Amino acid sequence: MTATEIKHAEEYYQITFPSELKSFLMEILPTSPGFYYWNDYTLENQNYIRQALHAPIHALLFDI
């Protein structure tokens, strides 16, 4: 990914990537299961990423 693509993903999903992850994504874009496709803005992928981002909050609320 380019720095511009990373910045767009951060703004779009309202997150901040750690600098190490930014460097990693700028060197190689993993396509293996378990990695997110941050520059794929299809509705299906957006939902997949948002679900992953919200999972910890939902888990905490479920346990309360």
**Exposed/middle/buried for residue 25 (C-beta within 10 Å: 0-12, 13-18, 19+):** buried
Query: According to the model, what pLDDT value does residue 51 have?
Result: 95
- Domain boundaries defined on the chain: 3-63
Our CA angle for 60, 22, 48, nearest 5°, is 45
Query: According to the model, what pLDDT value does residue 53 have?
Result: 94
Q: Write out the chain's pLDDT in tens, 64 residues.
A: 999 999 999 999 999 999 999 999 999 988 888 889 999 999 999 999 999 999 988 888 887 7
Query: According to the model, what pLDDT value does residue 63 have?
Result: 75
Contact (Cβ atoms closer than 8 angstroms) between residue 1 and residue 39: yes
Query: According to the model, what pLDDT value does residue 6 have?
Result: 97
Query: According to the model, what pLDDT value does residue 20 have?
Result: 97
